A and B are shown apart, each in its own frame.
Chain A
């Protein structure tokens, strides 16, 4: 059953802030605008907690509290007093009335939650937004940029690779308003906006409780060293240089957002773990693949899967980094008795074999042939 909290305040704004504070929790917030309404609501709904303003018309908080404590049916309801008056005399007067705690306005929602949590147990409301875990999960990226073409490029580029929602804003006020409504998973700001709006927005984000830890990337042209340096000094999570390389941007975003990107490379097809390398492979791609390699092998072993196929058929060029990755994968598979096979076209195959350490590797010309080989091994076994 939902927790009932009675909010008694003559300010509709404060009542709405309190209702918003408990929105994420399994609570029903009942509202009253003065002491008389508050007593009626307390008697009717029997709340588990009352958050009570001090100064109100009709009947103030002190009078309501006195009447509440004089009623045997309601005197046990804990009360948190909310007051803009933090003077010593006032605090003493409130304490004598038997309140459980008090909170001075202005207050942070976190502070209210902390005080309430000491008195009642707050349970998260089910069905809320879940944290981003994989590349398939929804996420939002806020872009503050006054050039629509750049926003469009980022939107198209990210939408081609992820289901993420890209929100473009052209002015500082619009962007601030956007983060007041919700917390984006990452922010990209142009560093070349008028009046230093990009840097000002960064400071705003770092001031706000909900966006303090959101990754923020500055964006400008490669040659604008002053702005890049300033962003670094201020503590931006990173920078994105124009012209934007979408693969690089995505790599930076997923790393900062702590997104599991393994599905970009690893897929389980029946009883074979397929490791697919992209056509154009960067050092960042190789780092990501290596990062997930051991956990994926551990998962395979635990799931009883014993075949790994590395697909190089889309690759057009092989360098030392890729050969090192192949050798590392070969060794790790060998260590835990996993069957390992590589598929790649003749050019790739030739390039791999040109490295002495990889000369003995067997490379199939297509994925189907590699799969057939692995399945045949199963039959032999």
Chain B
């Protein structure tokens, strides 16, 4: 199947975009503002292992850019984050759907910030409603993009991993 050619301007804009700097700034702001957690960036190639279940929040971008953003955290960390967001003790959060919602909202905020930046760069796109996957034994395959970046951060031994894939469309 033939695909339409990608405009050179979109490709150049995307290649010039400093995604790592943007995400570093965006996630640090998000976590310090709403979760009162100061993240420490780690080597993005660092092997990440989550103890027990993990939760992945995902948002998609569609338009002049097609893209996806995944946020990975352990259930334990999601519980701490949700407790911090809601001002309750983490062990008082009985319903796992609250954790899913919180991680989904974090993906939504990060994705929303990214979408706005891309639109400001002239790469008009829209953001999907977040989706959430929870489990122990699964892997999410990142689509082949022009820009594929992985980000790893820690907060008090808890790991947050982000994956972003972006590609211009016709």
A residues whose Cβ falls under 8 Å from a Cβ of B: 10-14, 16-17, 20, 55-57, 83-90, 105-108, 172-173, 176-177, 180-181, 200, 203-204, 207-209
Contact = CB atoms under 8 A, between A and B. Distances in A.
A106 B30 contact: yes
A177 B90 contact: yes
B58 interface: no
A244 B116 CA distance: 55
Nearest to A86: B116
Interface of B: 29-30, 32-34, 36, 38, 80, 82-90, 97-98, 101-102, 104-105, 108-109, 111-113, 115-117, 119-120, 124, 127, 129, 156
A17 B85 contact: yes
Instruction: Report, nearest first, the 4 A-B pairs whose CB atoms are least far apart.
Output: A84-B112, A87-B116, A87-B119, A106-B33
Nearest to A56: B129
Given A84-B111, A208-B36, A20 B87 contact: yes
Contacts of B85: 13, 16-17
10 contacts: A13-B102, A83-B112, A85-B119, A88-B119, A105-B112, A106-B109, A107-B34, A176-B156, A180-B87, A207-B38
Contacts of B109: 84, 105-106
B83 A87 contact: no
A11 B104 contact: yes
Contacts of A56: 129
A13 B113 contact: no
Contacts of A14: 105
B87 to A, nearest CB: 5
B88 A181 contact: yes
A177 B80 contact: yes
Contacts of B84: 176-177, 180
A203 B112 contact: no
Given A83-B112, A108-B33, A204 B87 contact: no
Contacts of B82: 13
Contacts of B32: 207
B117 A87 contact: yes
Contacts of B80: 173, 177
Contacts of A105: 34, 108-109, 112
A99 to B, nearest CB: 17
Contacts of A83: 112
Contacts of A203: 38
Contacts of A173: 80, 156
Greatest chain B CB density within 10 A among A11, A20, A89 is at A11
Given A85-B112, A87-B119, 7 more contacts: A12-B97, A13-B85, A17-B34, A55-B112, A55-B129, A84-B113, A203-B38
B89 A181 contact: yes
Greatest chain B CB density within 10 A among A12, A108, A209 is at A12
Contacts of A88: 119-120
B98 to A, nearest CB: 7
A208 B117 CA distance: 28
Contacts of A57: 129
A284 B36 CA distance: 37
A204 B98 contact: no
A180 B83 contact: yes
A204 B40 CA distance: 13
Greatest chain B CB density within 10 A among A13, A16, A55, A180 is at A13
Contacts of A209: 36
A328 to B, nearest CB: 48
A35 to B, nearest CB: 13
B17 to A, nearest CB: 14
B127 A85 contact: yes
B108 A17 contact: no
Contacts of A17: 34, 85-86
Greatest chain A CB density within 10 A among B90, B104, B156 is at B156
Given A55-B112, A106-B29, A89 B105 contact: no
Contacts of A84: 108-109, 111-113, 115-116, 127
